[in-house]
Amino acid sequence: MAMRSSTRRDFFTAGAATALAGIAAASFAQPETLSAKGIAKRDTHPDARLIALCDAFIALEAEAHALYGHDHTLEDEPRIQAAHEVIFGRQEPLKDEILSLRATTLDGIRAKARAMVAFDNDFLPKEDTPYWNEAMLFNLVRDLVA
């Protein structure tokens, strides 16, 4: 069997599979204490921090996509690329923390799925894969973000 190189899609397929593996365990999880920066302590949802991080990540991703939402010329590219770098720099710590947090509720799992689809917006249409495990993963993510 020939080995293939890893791609961005492979990274997200593995990440999504890991996130979705938490579905079975989510009902048994204990809520975590939420004292992390940016989340009000009065918020009692077990995945409040994770959901807020995913929402912030999605908002930044929308900002990045909006940079190309108008007619631009080749001369605009350096400005757009610089703006992208700023946005991506703000996303990095969010991505790291999102990946470090375990979703303990279906809301948390859905938030992770929405963040993944926002980042890789062509992730869902690839259901024509010949591999059942990939097709099932795409199907699960589609169901979560619906």
d(CA 128, CA 108): 27
For residue 128, report the phi and psi dihedrals to the nearest 5 degrees: -85, 15
**Structure tokens that stand for 70 in this block:** 């108008």
Domain ranges of the chain: 47-68+77-146
Which residues of the chain are modeled with pLDDT < 50? 1-6, 8, 11-12, 14, 16-37, 39-42
Q: pTM for this structure?
A: 0.65
pLDDT tens digit sequence for 30-67: 334 333 445 444 478 999 999 999 999 999 999 998 88
Residue 142 and residue 113: Cα distance in Å, rounded? 8
104, 24 Cβ separation under 8 angstroms:
no
